[in-house]
Amino acid sequence: MKLKDIAKEEFYRASYGCAGCAAVLMVRLTIKALGKNSVYVVPANCISTVSCYYPQAPFFVPFTVMAFAATAAALSGISAGFRRRGREDIHVVGLSGDGGTADIGIQALSGAIDCGNKFIYICYDNEAYMNTGIQRSGLTPYGAATSTTPSPCFENRPKKDMMRIVAAHDIPYAATACTSYPLDYMEKVVKASQVNGPTYIHILAPCPTGWGFPPDETIEIGRMAVESGMWHLTEFENGEFRTTYTPKRQRPVSEYLATQTRFRHLSPEQIAAIQKEIDAARD
């Protein structure tokens, strides 16, 4: 995919999202990748909150809100319904946050992957429950302060590894992405849409409001996440993981952590410990 191939047409516009919101960017990129022949299920999260209030209608494709825990089950049902009506050509897509995916919705996600219906489940990961005011989730990284893990007692557990969890289901296709690498993401979305079964894409979506950085730095922060080794761009296919992008330069994690107020309480020792983990994972 080339930049010039990306649809000029906008299918998602005029949401109430914060300035610099990567989750909003994720929605735009997703629909551009899949085109009009796609329908969207959005559970309780930032995206539904900034998009669903009648008579507001930012989605120019069919869309429904859904209960927080229920995204994957809804995708499964819609997919089965379309199959019964001979409309397997329609892409059935879920846009769920990290909380809706790794916490309350993980049971339904597991069940739906297990059922095998065709859908694309997208987890946009802003690393906390942002919609309800920045509470920690199972995907909040070690060291981050949130409103339920306030400093000095920050989040003391590592981020759940959702890729390994979905891979353990023998899912036909899964990938990670980041909004700062739009072509990589959109290629993965298109690839997922060509799979006849459940697929999962986990996209890191920096949140200026929740992470504490200026809204014009969203893209840079996402790049720093990948370049520091805090996040990786990968794929899982045919039972194997592979890296789809290796950053040309590697940055120390301290640079990434220093950009965001959620990490500002960390001591040099704690930062060194995080760096050590990253180095160990690289080897």
Partner 1 sequence: MATEMSVRKYITANEAVAQAARLARVDVVAAYPITPQTSIVEKIAKYIADGEMDADYIKVESEHSALTACMGVRMAGARAFTSTSSQGLEYMHEMLAYAAGGRYPLVLVNVCRSVALPWSIWGDQQDAIQQRDTGWIQIFTETGQEALDMVLQAYRIAEDHRVLLPVMICLDSFIQSHTEELVQVPDQKTVDSFLPRYDPVVTLDVDNPYSISVGGFGKHYARWREEQQTAAEKAGEIILEVGDEFARIFGRHYGGLIEEYRCDGAEAVLVAMGAFTGTAREVVDEMRDEGKNVGLVKVRAFRPFPVEPLRKVISPVKAAAVLDRDCSWGYEGALATDMKAALYGLPNPPAILNFIGGLGGADVPPERMKYMLEKALAADRGTTPHLEFIDR
N-to-C CA span, the chain: 31
141 binds Mg ion (CB under 5 A): no
CA gap 203, 124 in Å, rounded: 5
Among 64, 110, 132, 244, binds ligand TPP (CB under 6 A): 132
- Show the binding pattern over residues 203-242: x = contacts ligand TPP (CB under 6 A), - = does not: ----------------------------------------
Place of tokens 């789809």: 244
SS3 169: coil
**CB 175 → ligand SF4: shortest distance, Å?**
21
Question: By the 8 A CB rule, do 150 and 166 touch?
Answer: no
For 171-184, give the DSSP string. Answer: -SEEEEEETT-HHH
**C-beta of 205: minimal distance to ligand TPP in Å?**
8
Residue 126 is a binding residue for ligand SF4 (CB under 6 A): yes
Which residues, numbered 12-41, are part of the site for ligand SF4 (CB under 6 A)?
Answer: 17-18, 21, 23
**Min dist. Cβ of residue 116 to partner 1 (A):** 9
Residue among 17, 43, 94, 97 that touches Mg ion (CB under 5 A)? 97
Q: For residues 98 and 235, which CB has a smaller minimum distance to ligand TPP in the complex? A: 98
Name which of 99, 121, 109, 126 is nearest 165 in CA terms.
109
Range 188-222 burial, b when 16+ CB lie within 10 A, else e: bbebbbebebbbbbbbbbbbbbbbbbeeebbbebb
Rg (CA), the chain: 18
Q: Shortest approach of ligand SF4 to residue 16 CB, angstroms?
A: 8
Give residues 189-218 in contact with ligand SF4 (rule: CB under 6 A): 207-210
| Alpha carbon 11 to its chain's center | 19
Identified binder of partner 1 from the candidate list 70, 201, 230, 233, rule CB under 8 A: 70
Provide, rounded to whole angstroms, the least separation between the CB of residue 52 and Mg ion: 16
Can you tell me which residue has the tokens 């952590």? 257
- Residue 91 β-bridge partners: 38
Q: Are 54 and 90 in contact (CB under 8 A)?
A: no
Binding residues for ligand SF4, rule: CB under 6 A, are 17-18, 21, 23, 46, 50, 126, 130, 207-210
Binding residues for partner 1, rule: CB under 8 A, are 36-39, 41, 48-49, 52-55, 57, 59-67, 69-70, 72-85, 87, 90, 107-108, 110-112, 114-115, 117
Binding residues for Mg ion, rule: CB under 5 A, are 97-98, 126, 130
